[in-house]
Chain A
Amino acid sequence: MHSNLTIQNELKELNSLLASISNRNVYTVPDGYFQAMVTDIINTIGREPGMGSENPALPDGYFEHLADSIMGKIKAATVTEEESSLLMPLRTIPTYTIPQGYFEDFAGSVMNKIDSIAEESAELLDAVKHINPYTVPQGYFDGLATDIVSKVPQQAKVFVLQQRSSFFRYAVAAVITGILGLSVISIVDNKQEDAVVVSPVTANVMETATQIIADHSFDTELAKLSDADIVSYLQSNGEDVNTALVASAAYGKALPEEVDYLTDDKTLDNFLNELNIKKDNQSTN
C-alpha cells in the first residue's frame, strides 16, 4: 500500500493528467452483451447477399470432375503451335551485346577519362588546400553548456522506494555474521574440550595427581565428585553405568536379602529405585 502511494505521487509529478484518471476499468461491455452475441453474429451473416443462413451446398459431383477441369484449363492456356514457331528462332540470339573491339582500348580510355577529370579539378583543389572546413561561429562554446541545460526538460521529482532498506540490510547482515561467528567460536571451543577428553594424561593432570598423592587426599577428592561427572567419565570409558551400579551393589553386599523378597514382593523394584536405575534408563537410552 505504501509503495502504491509513492508511485502515485511520482506519477502526479510526471503527468498530472494521467494521475487524475481514477483507478477504474475502462473496458466494459453493456449488460447481457455476450448472451445475445452468438445469435447477433449469425443473423448478420444471414443478411449478407448470396449467403443463406445455412451452409451453401456444393453442386453434385463437384469433386469428382475437379481434377479433370483443372487439367483442361491448364491445357487451354498453353502456347499454340503457331506461337511457338515464332518464338523458336529468338532462342539463339544473344540479348546483351557489346560493340566490336570494345575491350581492346578499354584500359586506355579509362585512364584518359581519369586524367581529364584530375586536370579539371586540380585548380579547384589548389584553391581550397589551406582552408579548414571545420569551423564554428565565434563564441559558440561559451554559452553551449547553459544552452543545453536550459533546453533539457526539467526532471520530475523522484520518490525513492523503501528508504530504510539499505540500513536494514546492513543490520541483518551484521546480526547473521555475529550469530555465525559465535557458533563457529562455540564449535571450536567444544572441539578443544573434546581434545582434552581424548588425551587423558596431560601435564595438568599429572600435576594434580602428584598433589593428591602428596596430600593423601584421594578419598576426600573422590567423595567430592558429582554423579553427573562420574557418569560422563565412565561413559567416555565405555562403561555401562547401570550394570556397573547393580554389580557394585552385589560387590558391596548391599543387595536385598532373601527374607526381604518374601515379606515384600516389590523388593527388587524398590532396590532398583534406590539406585535410580529406571530414571537413568530413561535418560541414557
Chain B
Amino acid sequence: MKRILLFIILLTGSISFAHAQDNEPDPGKKVQKIQALYVAYISQQLNLTTAEAEKFWPLHNQFDGELKTIGMDLPELDRQQKLLDVKKRYQDRFVKILGTGRADNFFRLNTEFNKKLVDVMRQRRQQNNMNQRPLRRNN
C-alpha cells in the first residue's frame, strides 16, 4: 500500500511540475517586445528605407550575435575593450550601408535606447518611493 501511495504522490508531483512549467510566462516573447521597440526606434531615428533595412538588419544580427559572445565574467576593462573591438570591426560595413554620418549615429543610438529603458525603470522606482514617503523629498 505504501508503495502505491508513493507512486501516486510521485505521479501527481510530476504532473503539477509540468503544469508549473507551462504556466510560466515566455521570457523569449518579452524580450522580443523590447527588440521590436529597438527596431522601431533605430529605424525611425535613422530614417531607414526598405532597401536599407533589408541590408542593415541581417548585418545587425551578425553584429549583435558577436557582441553577445563576449563573456560577462571578463575583467570589466577587457570586456569593454572587446566590445569596442567588435564595434570597430563592423564600422566599415555599417558605413557602406548607411554612410558615415548615419553609421556614427547608429552607434550613439544604441546607447541612447538602453538609456531610455533605464530611464523608464528609474523614474518608476523613484515615483514608487515618493508615493510611499510623500513628505521626504520633492525631487
CB proximity of A227 to chain B, nearest CB, Å:
5
Q: Does A109 contact B (CB under 8 A)?
A: no
Q: Which of B27, B32, B40 has the most CB of A within 10 A?
A: B40
Given the known inter-chain contacts A179-B14, A231-B121, A241-B118, please indicate yes or no for A199 contacting B65, CB distance below 8 A: yes
Q: Does A274 contact B (CB under 8 A)?
A: yes
CB proximity of A180 to chain B, nearest CB, Å:
10
**Interface 0/1 of B31-45, CB less than 8 Å to A:** 111111111110110
B68 contact from A182, A229, A231, A238, Cβ within 8 A = A238
Q: Does A3 contact B (CB under 8 A)?
A: no
B139 neighbours in A (Cβ, 8 Å): 254, 256-257
Decide if B68 touches A244 in the complex (CB within 8 Å). no
Q: Which of A231-251 contact B (CB under 8 A)?
A: 231-239, 241, 244-245, 247-249, 251
Decide if B14 touches A275 in the complex (CB within 8 Å). no
Q: Which of B10-41 contact A (CB under 8 A)?
A: 10-11, 14, 17-18, 21, 26-28, 30-41
Complex CA gap A239/B121 in Å reads 14
A200 neighbours in B (Cβ, 8 Å): 35, 38, 60-61, 64
Q: Which of A151-170 contact B (CB under 8 A)?
A: 164, 168
**Interface 0/1 of B103-126, CB less than 8 Å to A:** 000000000001111111111111
Decide if A236 touches B3 in the complex (CB within 8 Å). no
A168 neighbours in B (Cβ, 8 Å): 3-4, 7
B38 neighbours in A (Cβ, 8 Å): 200, 209
A193 contact from B27, B44, B119, B122, Cβ within 8 A = B27
Tell me how many residues of B have a C-beta within 8 Å of chain A.
55
Q: Does A45 contact B (CB under 8 A)?
A: no
Decide if A230 touches B121 in the complex (CB within 8 Å). yes
Interface of chain B, main secondary structure: helix
Decide if B14 touches A208 in the complex (CB within 8 Å). no
Given the known inter-chain contacts A208-B32, A249-B122, please indicate yes or no for A213 contacting B40, CB distance below 8 A: yes
Decide if B120 touches A230 in the complex (CB within 8 Å). yes
Complex CA gap A268/B130 in Å reads 15
Decide if B39 touches A238 in the complex (CB within 8 Å). no
Decide if B14 touches A232 in the complex (CB within 8 Å). no
B120 neighbours in A (Cβ, 8 Å): 222-223, 225, 230
Complex CA gap A175/B121 in Å reads 45
Decide if B115 touches A251 in the complex (CB within 8 Å). yes
A225 contact from B4, B34, B130, Cβ within 8 A = B34
Interface of chain A, main secondary structure: helix
Given the known inter-chain contacts A234-B117, A244-B118, please indicate yes or no for A182 contacting B17, CB distance below 8 A: yes
**Interface 0/1 of A131-153, CB less than 8 Å to B:** 00000000000000000000000
Q: Does B55 contact A (CB under 8 A)?
A: no
Residues of A within 8 A of B (CB): 164, 168, 171-172, 175, 178-179, 182, 186, 189, 192-193, 196-202, 204-206, 208-213, 218, 221-223, 225-227, 229-239, 241, 244-245, 247-249, 251-252, 254, 256-257, 260, 270, 273-276
Given contacts A223-B120, A244-B114, A247-B118, 20 further A-B contacts (CB under 8 A): A164-B3, A168-B4, A186-B21, A192-B28, A201-B60, A201-B61, A204-B32, A206-B57, A209-B37, A211-B36, A212-B36, A222-B120, A227-B125, A229-B30, A230-B120, A234-B114, A245-B118, A245-B122, A248-B115, A254-B126
